[in-house]
Amino acid sequence: MAGMRPTGGLHLGHLLGVLTQFANYCDTADAFFEIADLHAYTTEFHDPAKIRDARNEMVAVWLAAGVDPQKATIYLQSAVPEISELHVILSMITPISWLERVPTYKGQIEALGQEIATYGFLGYPLLQLCDVAIVRGEFVPVGRDQAAHLEFGREVVRRFNHLYGDGEQILIEPQPTYSDFPEVPGTDGRKMSKSYGNAILIEDDEETTTKKVRSMVTDPQKIRRGDPGRPEVCPLFYLWRFVNPLRLEAVAEGCRSGALGCVQDKTDFAEQLNAYLRPVRERYRAFRDDPAEVERIIEDGTARVRDVASKMLAQVKHAMRLT
């Protein structure tokens, strides 16, 4: 099980770090992919129209990246009330101190301001657990920065099963899976993020992509062609590993020897990146321009997941003697 917040602008980091796993899971397991619109309100509550408008575009990128709605279930979080009910139930046994020690809680408040220090934001990791638990998710593809959320969730699962399981594992402890590209660098060398303004977006055209690549930071010690470089510290070299791994050895050798200048490297990489993204972008535009089909996929998936969720919630309520 996995989900994303519909806050707009999926980028190369999402494609390499997460969506490749989404597509692979379609072929290997029962896969559930959630449009986490309730989560989006933790930081974007002042702009609900933005959240609503971003839903279909996000799913269009998923489909373009290879997520198959015939093999996977794509659904809308807010349209599955069982998730919210499970969140309320589990909140009754979750110590506040457990939530407060999740590293991203204080970090995000420091980064985004006290405005987001809401009851819902504090409970964000618990709602994430409910997203997974309601479909009996066993594996969750996450970034390294989300690992603490999943460990928190496992603690809550263990507490619930101890209190109410009577020897039975009613809730499953989800396990993380990590991408081969968990930290995709942006044009400034930091982790790629739309909020940092350093992202290469899936929706960008090829000219925009080329301009962004040309602005990328490289080895600060390699000032001009002829200077020996250090590919191991260069964000551009990191991305070569994904876009065309067959070029890695030649790029590394040319960089270290000084034969390959950064300007030429960026030109070559932009061409390769645009070629790689071209079919994804073509599929994205086709789905974006057919919102009725995207809505149908979401509605069908939401109906399927509600059947699974209602059975799981019934088990939880029975264990707690609520029914």
CATH number at residue 101: 3.40.50.620
Q: Most confidently modeled of 16-25, 104-113, 142-151, 271-280? A: 271-280
Domain membership flag for residue 230: yes
- List pLDDT tens digits, range 248-287: 999 999 999 999 999 999 999 999 999 999 999 999 999 9
- Within this chain, do residues 40 and 174 fall inside the same structural domain, yes or no? yes
- Which range (242-246, 278-282, 306-310) has the least confidence? 242-246
Domain membership flag for residue 195: no
Separation between Cα atoms, residue 55 and residue 7, nearest integer Å: 8
Separation between Cα atoms, residue 20 and residue 227, nearest integer Å: 36
- Within this chain, do residues 241 and 313 fall inside the same structural domain, yes or no? no
- Within this chain, do residues 67 and 156 fall inside the same structural domain, yes or no? yes
Please check the confidence at residue 109 and state whether its pLDDT lies above 80.
no
Scan for tokens 């982790």, then name that residue. 191
- Within this chain, do residues 137 and 276 fall inside the same structural domain, yes or no? no
Q: Which helix (H) or strand (E) holds 212?
A: helix 206-214
Full residue range of the structural domain in which residue 217 is found: 204-284
Give the pLDDT mean for 141-150: 78
Q: Which of the four pLDDT bands, split at 50, 70 and 90, describes residue 6?
A: very high
Domain membership flag for residue 122: yes
- Within this chain, do residues 148 and 11 fall inside the same structural domain, yes or no? yes
CATH number at residue 232: 1.10.240.10
- Within this chain, do residues 19 and 94 fall inside the same structural domain, yes or no? yes
- List pLDDT tens digits, range 146-200: 778 899 999 999 999 999 999 899 999 999 887 666 678 999 999 898 878 899 9
- List pLDDT tens digits, range 204-236: 999 999 999 999 999 999 988 899 999 999 999
pLDDT at 181: 60
- Within this chain, do residues 130 and 221 fall inside the same structural domain, yes or no? no
* Mean pLDDT across the chain: 92
Q: What is the total count of domains within the chain?
A: 2
Q: Which of the four pLDDT bands, split at 50, 70 and 90, describes residue 8?
A: confident
- Within this chain, do residues 208 and 173 fall inside the same structural domain, yes or no? no
Separation between Cα atoms, residue 115 and residue 109, nearest integer Å: 8
- Within this chain, do residues 24 and 66 fall inside the same structural domain, yes or no? yes
- Within this chain, do residues 168 and 261 fall inside the same structural domain, yes or no? no
- Within this chain, do residues 160 and 229 fall inside the same structural domain, yes or no? no
- Which range (95-104, 121-130, 164-173) has the least confidence? 95-104
